[in-house]
Structures are given as C-alpha cells and as structure tokens.
C-alpha cells in the first residue's frame, strides 16, 4: 500500500483537501457600506467586531469539499482493486471542476445579493493542484495494472 507512488499522490490530495475545507475560500467586500464577508465551509459570514454573522449557506460546496478527501482516502486502501481505484480517481477528478463551478456560482450570487466585490484566497488553488495529483495517481494506477497484466501473461 505505502510502496506505491499513487498512495503518496492520494495522501497529498487528502491533506490539501483538508486544508481547503477548514480555510476561508474567498473574501467579499462591500466598499460602499465598508462591510467584509468571508466564505468558508460553513457558509458566508459578515465579519464584525462582535463576531461573525451568518449570511448564506454553501452546503453544496461543503459536500464536494468533504467528498474529495473521503474518496481519496478510500482509494488509498483499495490498492488490491486497481480497477475500482481507477474509477474512484476519475470520479474525484470530476468532482474537482464541480467544486470550482459551485464556488463561482456561490460567489456570483453572493456578490449580486450583497453588492460586493470578491477576491479568492490562496486555498482555492488547492483543488487545481489536487486535479494534477489525481492525474498523476491515475497514471500510476494504470502502470501498476499494466505491470500486473504483463506478469499474468508470463505465467
């Protein structure tokens, strides 16, 4: 399990996705009213001196952000079932652009409703890095499967 390079790639995906879940994804600023909002996995919050005030939910984004590391973690432990590992990695690859699509939908609607301008945080680049790591894991899984098939032909 730990000898395979795809385990390293998938572990990095789990770590980066965990950071993505618990970090702020975007900032929203209303210059006219001098209001600052933050978007994280819990929702969109108005930042005030007394604390954060809930504005809107982002449950779809949270669901995808939780699914990505869970699928990657499950994929790590399916090292004997390379075909299933391959399929789960492809599902993960489909979820990551979906994460960006939902992120921009939530930012767009929040920006329209709250009259704000938005800025992305560094953490929003992690799903793109995860996509590249998923591609590398997919290639490594394919190489393992090809090696196993070639060894079966020799017998």
Domains of the chain: 5-150 (1.20.140)
d(CA 18, CA 22) in angstroms, rounded, equals 7
Question: What pLDDT is attached to residue 123?
Answer: 94
- Give the confidence band of 128 by pLDDT, cuts at 50, 70, 90: very high
Chain segment 44-56, per-residue pLDDT in tens: 999 887 778 888 8
Least trusted range by pLDDT, from 54-58, 104-108, 145-149: 145-149
Greater confidence (62 vs 152) lies with: 62
pLDDT of residue 146: 83
- 3-class SS letters over the chain: CCCCHHHHHHHHHHHHHHHHHHCCCEEEEECCCCEEEEEECCEEEEEECCEEEEEECCHHHHHHHHHHHHHHHHHHCCCCCHHHHHHHHHHHHHHHHHHHHHHHHHHHHHHHHHCCEEEECHHHHHHHHHHHHHHHHHHHHHHHHHHHHHHHHHC
C-alpha–C-alpha distance, residues 149 and 109, integer Å: 50
Residue 43: left (phi > 0), alpha (psi -120 to 50), or beta? left
Q: How confident is the model at residue 23 (pLDDT cuts 50, 70, 90)?
A: very high
Q: 52 and 41 in contact (C-beta within 8 Å)?
A: no
């Amino acid at each position: 399990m730990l000898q395979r390079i795809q385990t390293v790639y998938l572990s990095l995906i789990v770590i980066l996705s965990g950071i993505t879940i618990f970090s702020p994804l975007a900032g929203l600023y209303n210059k006219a009213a001098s209001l600052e909002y933050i978007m994280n996995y819990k929702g969109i919050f108005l930042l005030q001196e007394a604390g954060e005030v809930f504005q809107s939910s982002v449950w779809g984004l949270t669901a995808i952000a939780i699914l990505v590391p869970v699928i990657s973690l499950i994929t790590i432990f399916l090292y004997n079932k390379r075909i299933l590992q391959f399929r789960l990695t492809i599902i993960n690859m489909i979820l990551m652009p979906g994460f960006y699509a939902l992120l921009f939908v939530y930012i767009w609607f929040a920006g329209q409703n709250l009259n704000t301008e938005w800025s992305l945080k560094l953490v929003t680049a992690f799903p793109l890095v995860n996509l590249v790591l998923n591609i590398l894991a997919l290639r490594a899984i394919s190489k393992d499967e090809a090696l196993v098939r070639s060894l079966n032909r020799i017998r």
